[in-house]
Amino acid sequence: MNQERLFKVILGPQVTEKAALAAESANTVVFKVTTDSTKLEVKAAIEKLFEVKVEDVRILNVKGKTKRTRYGLGKRNDWKKAYVRLAEGQDIDFSSVE
């Protein structure tokens, strides 16, 4: 995997109540990732960008909702998120990342 690809895999952190509970209880961080990314790419990108040790990566596809508009039915885009479990004692501080 080249460096440029690793920087494009991670789109940003997913900040929700469920993600906050996972971070507190299981040392897990949730990221929004590109739809064509794999577990190995996500693991390599997180370890490279944040300089932490990753134990496990779980990826799931999130289907876009169908919404009703005044022009008929529309659909939001599908996207993918990754649950990244960090090694014991590791932490990601989002305020220190440039």
- Pinpoint the alpha helices (H) of the chain: 3-9, 17-26, 39-50
d(CA 40, CA 82): 11
Q: What is the pLDDT of residues 45-85, one digit of tens each?
A: 999 999 999 999 999 999 999 999 999 999 999 999 999 99
Given a contact cutoff of 8 angstroms between Cβ atoms, the answer to whether 46 and 31 are in contact is: yes
Please give the residue that has the higher pLDDT: either 82 or 1: 82
- Is pTM beyond 0.85? Reply is yes
Cβ-based neighbour number of residue 46 at 10 Å: 24
CATH class held by domain 3-86 = alpha beta
Phi, psi of 48 (to 5 degrees): -75, -45
Contact predicate 78/63, CB 8 Å:
yes
Domain spans of the chain, in order of start? 3-86
Residue 23 has a pLDDT of 87
- C-alpha pair distances (Å), 45 with each of 11, 40, 65, 68, 95: 11, 9, 28, 37, 18
Q: Check residue 98 and give its pLDDT.
A: 56
Give the whole-angstrom CA distance, residue 90 versus residue 92.
7
